[in-house]
């Protein structure tokens, strides 16, 4: 047994789980008229209600004791101070410094941000033009993982709310069809290609970059390179690829890709929104940073949400969590959070390289409401799996009010139905209820509120790692498969097992597959 599962706080939570095993959510609400008000917090543009979680006042107190035992406050201080909390790579985790004017490494942050601002404003104004003197009308971002999911989410969520006017598309997949879709209908003479790769060696991104460069050359010839920009920590490789010196935007080693939308990785998002809106995104995230650093334990949203996740995962037995944004603009939120959470905390050893005997990261999945209701909500209501749910709802929307009212009604109804169930009637019509959920309400979808929401999830992910005593800032499991794929793509399979060798031959259309 690990030190964590034998700790006093963990043992107390295990005992408490048995104490409240027979209590229902409907019973808790009936016995406590003030429950909804007590288990909810308004923070900036966000309102979070976790009263439909299977917790009591005692549960929350025991969870806060667990946070104290885990030294969440100390780890938080070390992260914001720039200590090397990523122990396996001896690096700090400085994503919050990207939006903090007074943070460590501010000079470097300001230099890159100023380079971004000048470029974004010059492209949007037409001061920077393409090879044939035409202003840029479109941007295609080539990245993968964090170099794609964050800027894609921001650009789609805030589309039309900024002042840019540029068409911005994203491609990540090694499948050639993905880039073909992104380039379809665009004019090379007015298209800017942004290559985002920390190493400038990510196979999928570099391959897409070569194909995009050839697409440009087919129209622009030797002038194609003037339509390239790069975001990377490997400046020499970008220059060798043909990117102009003033269009290489640095990435810091201390910023993990999944935490990097606030950095130069956000360049394409800034081009989609305009610089003012991108700054507002940073402002919103900075407000959540301040809340996380200063709010007391009992009112600290990232810590509360992290503790609830641990309660559901490690004590109530959840293997997954569903995220249901009731907003088409937030359709990319699920895939972004999947990477943020599972790449950060999908670990099987603790900070001291000891095997863990507890689940670390639940599987994150979901989809947008109300379409998800006609896909997998049947399982949520009547299935045999225990799946806590997070709803994300917009209180105000600049669009058709009738459609928005219908959307909100569906979200609230789903949360209520998960809790109450339908105990009467024929067996096949019954739903057991007592299924927990949290609802996050954004006052309105703006750059500030989106920044707050993303920073909230970032900090929750970090706190989860602290509670599980793991390093949330490395991803060695990702590197394993990438290394094998690189060898196969280069024609050096090495010692490949018989099944994989045969599959490789078959997938390549080679004869004699066995």
Catalytic residue among 374, 428, 492, 495, which? 374
What is the CA angle 45-394-306, rounded to 5?
Answer: 60
18 is catalytic: no
Give, as one character, the DSSP assignment of residue 356.
P
What is the CA angle 246-251-256, rounded to 5?
Answer: 160
- Spell out a b/e string for 84-109, using b for 16 or more CB atoms within 10 Å of the CB, else e: ebbeeeebbbbbbbbbbeebbeeeeb
Strand 46-49 with 40-43, pairing? antiparallel
Decide if 272 contacts 170 (C-beta within 8 A).
no
Strand 389-394 with 320-326, pairing? parallel
343 is catalytic: yes
Round to whole Å and give the CA distance between 134 and 146. Answer: 31
**Phi/psi class of residue 353: alpha, beta or left (left: φ > 0; alpha: ψ in -120 to 50)?**
left
Round to whole Å and give the CA distance between 323 and 426. Answer: 30
58 is catalytic: no
Round to whole Å and give the CA distance between 267 and 151. Answer: 8
Round to whole Å and give the CA distance between 509 and 503. Answer: 10
- Cis preceding linkage at 370, omega within 30: yes
Decide if 450 contacts 154 (C-beta within 8 A).
yes
Round to whole Å and give the CA distance between 193 and 229. Answer: 6
Instruction: Spell out the alpha helix ranges (H) of 20-175.
Output: 25-31, 35-38, 57-69, 72-81, 106-125, 146-157
Catalytic residue among 163, 298, 482, 510, which? 482
Catalytic residue among 204, 321, 343, 458, which? 343
Round to whole Å and give the CA distance between 355 and 342. Answer: 18
Q: Which are the catalytic amino acids? A: 343, 374, 482
């Amino acid at each position: 047994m690990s030190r964590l599962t034998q700790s006093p706080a963990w043992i107390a939570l295990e005992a408490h789980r048995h104490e409240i095993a027979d209590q229902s959510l409907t019973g808790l609400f009936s016995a406590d008229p003030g429950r909804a008000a007590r288990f909810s917090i308004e923070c900036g543009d966000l309102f979070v209600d976790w009263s439909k979680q299977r917790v009591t006042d005692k549960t929350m107190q025991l969870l806060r004791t667990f946070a104290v035992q885990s030294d969440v406050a100390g780890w938080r201080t070390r992260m914001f101070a720039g200590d090397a909390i990523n122990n396996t790579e001896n690096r700090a985790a400085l994503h919050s410094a990207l939006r903090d004017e007074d943070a460590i490494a501010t000079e470097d942050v300001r230099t890159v941000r100023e380079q971004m601002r000048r470029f974004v404003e010059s492209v949007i104004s037409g001061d920077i033009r393409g090879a044939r003197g035409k202003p840029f009308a479109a941007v295609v971002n080539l990245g993968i993982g964090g170099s794609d999911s964050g800027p894609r989410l921001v650009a789609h969520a805030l589309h039309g709310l900024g002042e840019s006017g540029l068409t911005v598309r994203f491609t990540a997949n090694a499948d050639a069809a993905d880039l073909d879709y992104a380039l379809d209908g665009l004019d090379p003479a007015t298209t800017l290609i942004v290559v985002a790769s920390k190493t400038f060696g990510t196979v999928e991104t570099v391959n897409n970059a070569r194909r995009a460069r050839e697409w440009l050359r087919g129209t622009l010839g030797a002038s194609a390179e003037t339509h390239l920009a790069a975001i990377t920590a490997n400046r020499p490789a970008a220059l060798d690829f043909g990117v102009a010196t003033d269009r290489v935007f640095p990435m810091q080693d201390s910023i993990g890709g999944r935490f990097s939308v606030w950095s130069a990785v956000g360049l394409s998002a800034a081009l989609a929104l305009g610089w003012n809106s991108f700054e507002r995104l940073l402002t919103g995230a900075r407000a959540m940073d301040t809340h996380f650093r200063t709010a007391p334990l009992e009112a600290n949203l990232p810590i509360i949400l992290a503790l609830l996740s641990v309660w559901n995962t490690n004590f109530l037995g959840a293997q997954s969590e569903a995220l249901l944004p009731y907003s088409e603009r937030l359709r990319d939120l699920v895939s972004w959070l999947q990477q943020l959470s599972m790449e950060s905390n999908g670990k099987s050893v603790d900070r001291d390289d000891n095997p863990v005997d507890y689940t670390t990261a639940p599987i994150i999945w979901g989809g947008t409401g109300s379409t998800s209701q006609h896909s997998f909500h049947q399982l949520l209501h009547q299935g045999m799996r225990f799946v806590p749910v997070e709803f994300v709802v917009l209180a105000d929307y600049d669009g058709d009010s009738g459609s928005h009212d219908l959307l909100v009604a569906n979200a609230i109804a789903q949360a209520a139905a998960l809790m109450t169930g339908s105990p009467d009637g024929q067996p096949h019509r019954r739903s057991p209820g007592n299924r927990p959920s949290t609802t996050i309400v954004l006052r309105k979808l703006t750059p500030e509120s989106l920044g707050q929401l993303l920073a909230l999830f970032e900090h929750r992910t970090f706190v989860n790692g602290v509670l599980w005593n793991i390093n949330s800032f490395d991803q060695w499991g990702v590197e394993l498969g990438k290394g094998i794929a690189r060898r196969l793509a280069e024609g050096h399979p090495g010692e490949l097992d018989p099944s994989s060798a045969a599959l490789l031959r078959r997938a390549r259309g080679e004869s004699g597959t066995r």
